[in-house]
Structure 1
Amino acid sequence: MELTHPAIKAFMCGSFSGTCSTLLFQPLDLIKTRLQTLQSGMQPGSGRVGMVSVLLSVVRTEKLLGLWKGVSPSFARTIPGVGIYFSTYYSIKQHFFPDGSPGAVEAVMLGGGARMVAGVVMLPVTVIKTRFECGRYSYASVVGALRSVCQTEGPAALFSGLMATLLRDVPFSGIYVMFYSQAKASLPKEISSSPSAPLANFSCGILAGILASLITQPADVVKTHVQVKPQLRTAEAVRYIYMEQGLQGFFRGAVPRSLRRTLMASMAWTVYEQMMAHMGLKS
């Protein structure tokens, strides 16, 4: 396959956009993971432990760079993962929708299908990334962590939380692509073809990201617990969260996750579309 193949270009554009967004927003992901894995004994009854408390705690105990703990596995997951997502998305779209205009339902299937492929392929690195961020494991490197998990827990542990991950990522991407594509389609043509088009697209992405993040937040909390405590099954994690924290526990970390996922997705799609347009390809 030639390096000029459109799918290869989509992979490169996606990987670059993923690199930029991961570097910028990793602190939000770390704060989200810490919030979701707080022990019940550490939580005040009023639930006032929030983003600012966790942020200050991390900076105080792990210095400013501690906010980027887990950035190595984040890069290892996001750079190829976003590339796989966008190249799969582009290939499926070109095959089934050569005119480039899928409807709302088709957009859900398109985004969800692309995310399913990327999610399954990159799940082992996602597990390691979650463990780096939670602060309970002392891995020296991504490769060392992969080796340690395989030796002590077995290779199956690298696919812990598969169901919860798919229940989170597939709907998120499907819902995101649906809202994003519909919002873009509703923009006046004079805006879509103007120099301010990237800003308009970014705004559409913000709206789509907020809605998709809130809908899929409970699955993200369950996924985090299963990957940090691989002895838990998905159903057991749901029961554990409910018994320990009640219904509000399923929305712990919603603010930093919504901020991160929304900004990352908006930035990734904006950079991806601009790079594809620069290469003369329709995204």
Structure 2
Amino acid sequence: MFFVLNGCGETRRPKRNVRVRGKLRGCLELSADIMSGQSPSPAAGKHITPVQRMVASCSGAILTSLLVTPLDVVKIRLQAQKNPFPKGKCFVYCNGLMDHICVCVNGNSKAWYKAPGHFSGTLDAFVKIVRHEGIKSLWSGLPPTLVMAVPATVIYFTCYDQLLAALRLRMGGYAEEAPLLAGSIARVGSATVISPLELMRTKLQSEKQSYGELTRCIRSAVETEGWLSLWRGLGPTLLRDVPFSAMYWYNYEKGKRFLCERYNSREPTFTITFISGAVSGAIASIVTLPFDVVKTRRQLELGELQAKNLSSGVSNSTFTVMSRIVAQHGFSGLFAGFLPRLIKVAPACAIMISTYEVGKVFFHKRNQERTLGLQTNA
């Protein structure tokens, strides 16, 4: 280390060395955070590129799909054992990231489940499926999720982070409400982008069309009904997903801050993000359950009508379907499937957000180390 003399006869260190020391101090602090299981400060997040955020969210979506899919495959097999699906009947497959409507052909749908077996419970089903059909059977139906849900999740999480940072700067005293707005806008954007692909996937799945037939069908629909026909069904999806997203992110940020204060943690640890994600996902899933029930009912009805080449003679608006459910089953009908949805959504949210946060920590550390290397060699 050397010093130079300024105009007043005082000594000072060169600016370059000060910058190097600052970078070194930042990297040492970051390393200490990571060793203690903590994530970087919010300011540090600015050094993560959008591409790195996309990679982190993609990793989270893939891991969530891999861990949650077996649970729903087993649930479908148990459901088929109690009430075998007749020809033309639909059932819903959901692995925590995306819903899939499956149409049974001749009482079976080999892409999603094989012939119903004889299982005494969930654990017995896991063991027998692996033993007799191979471990791959636990991930039946995973490819459509990887094709559809992973891109949607990447768009969603990346947009949320970018929007949250921008809104917090502009909302001033209302910055605490920024997750509500950022989550809502991000969900609208991702759902709008993916909606045409979802329509194509549904047609391929329910009507067994070839890609050539699908192309002609879509071209015909666009010519007769306009481009907006590609976003048919987007409304009910947004009614469920936008409130869920707003509540989820708001409660997640609140819960994360509360747990950090409670346990005197300067930054959220992996455990804190996991618990915050699970609790916020559970709350949002409970509140939006009626909209989920309505959306599922509409999907099943439309899928079965398409499978039988029939046209709907009744209105399928959200309010109409909701009224029909209340008339048939009472208000409790709007909360059907409460426990299965809670058991599935809460872990999926926890796995997704904690994996995403770990990914951001990894990339932030990598960027800091690269910057330090460049500064040292300069």
Query: What TM-score bracket applies, with the shorter chain setting the length?
Result: 0.7 to 0.9
* 1:24 correspondence with 2:67: yes
1:1-283 to 2 correspondences below 5 Å: 6-28=49-71, 31=75, 61-62=115-116, 64=129, 68-98=139-169, 103-126=175-198, 137=206, 139=208, 150=218, 159-188=231-260, 192-193=265-266, 197-230=269-302, 231=312, 232-280=316-364
Equivalent in the alignment of 1:51: none
Deviation, structure 1 residue 254: 2.3
Given that residues 86 and 114 in structure 1 are in contact (C-alpha distance below 8 angstroms), is that contact kept between their aligned partners in structure 2?
yes
Amino acid at match of 1:7: P
Does the C-alpha gap of structure 1 residues 123 and 89 become closer, same or farther in structure 2, counting only changes over 3 Å? same
Does the C-alpha gap of structure 1 residues 151 and 177 become closer, same or farther in structure 2, counting only changes over 3 Å? same
Deviation, structure 1 residue 149: 7.1
Residues in 1 aligned to 2:50 and 2:182: alpha-carbon distance in whole angstroms: 15
**When the two structures are superposed, what TM-score results if normalisation uses the length of structure 2?**
0.56
Residues in 2 aligned to 1:95 and 1:260: alpha-carbon distance in whole angstroms: 32
Higher helix share: 1
Does the C-alpha gap of structure 1 residues 145 and 67 become closer, same or farther in structure 2, counting only changes over 3 Å? farther
Given that residues 89 and 110 in structure 1 are in contact (C-alpha distance below 8 angstroms), is that contact kept between their aligned partners in structure 2?
yes
Residues in 1 aligned to 2:66 and 2:327: alpha-carbon distance in whole angstroms: 35
Structure with the greater alpha carbon radius of gyration = 2
Does the C-alpha gap of structure 1 residues 105 and 125 become closer, same or farther in structure 2, counting only changes over 3 Å? same
Q: Secondary structure at the match of 1:269?
A: helix
Does the C-alpha gap of structure 1 residues 256 and 273 become closer, same or farther in structure 2, counting only changes over 3 Å? same
Given that residues 164 and 220 in structure 1 are in contact (C-alpha distance below 8 angstroms), is that contact kept between their aligned partners in structure 2?
no
Amino acid at match of 1:25: V
Q: Secondary structure at the match of 2:252?
A: helix
Residues in 2 aligned to 1:274 and 1:99: alpha-carbon distance in whole angstroms: 27
Deviation, structure 1 residue 166: 0.7
| Number of residue pairs the alignment of both structures matches | 255
**When the two structures are superposed, what TM-score results if normalisation uses the length of structure 1?**
0.72
Given that residues 172 and 213 in structure 1 are in contact (C-alpha distance below 8 angstroms), is that contact kept between their aligned partners in structure 2?
yes
Deviation, structure 1 residue 95: 2.0
Deviation, structure 1 residue 25: 1.3
Deviation, structure 1 residue 21: 0.4
Deviation, structure 1 residue 263: 1.3
- Greater displacement, 257-266 / 57-66: 57-66
Does the C-alpha gap of structure 1 residues 106 and 11 become closer, same or farther in structure 2, counting only changes over 3 Å? same
Does the C-alpha gap of structure 1 residues 202 and 66 become closer, same or farther in structure 2, counting only changes over 3 Å? same
Residues in 1 aligned to 2:217 and 2:49: alpha-carbon distance in whole angstroms: 37
Equivalent in the alignment of 1:45: none
Identity in percent: 25
Residues in 2 aligned to 1:148 and 1:202: alpha-carbon distance in whole angstroms: 46
Given that residues 17 and 271 in structure 1 are in contact (C-alpha distance below 8 angstroms), is that contact kept between their aligned partners in structure 2?
yes
Output the aligned Cα RMSD: 4.1
**CA offset digits 1:170-224 (Å, max 9, x no partner):** 1111101111100111123666458x91012101111111110000111111112
Residues in 1 aligned to 2:338 and 2:214: alpha-carbon distance in whole angstroms: 28
Amino acid at match of 2:67: L
Given that residues 164 and 178 in structure 2 are in contact (C-alpha distance below 8 angstroms), is that contact kept between their aligned partners in structure 1?
no
Segments of structure 1 that go 5 or more residues without pairing to the other structure are: 43-56
Segments of structure 2 that go 5 or more residues without pairing to the other structure are: 1-46, 87-107, 118-128, 130-135, 303-311, 368-378
Amino acid at match of 1:94: A
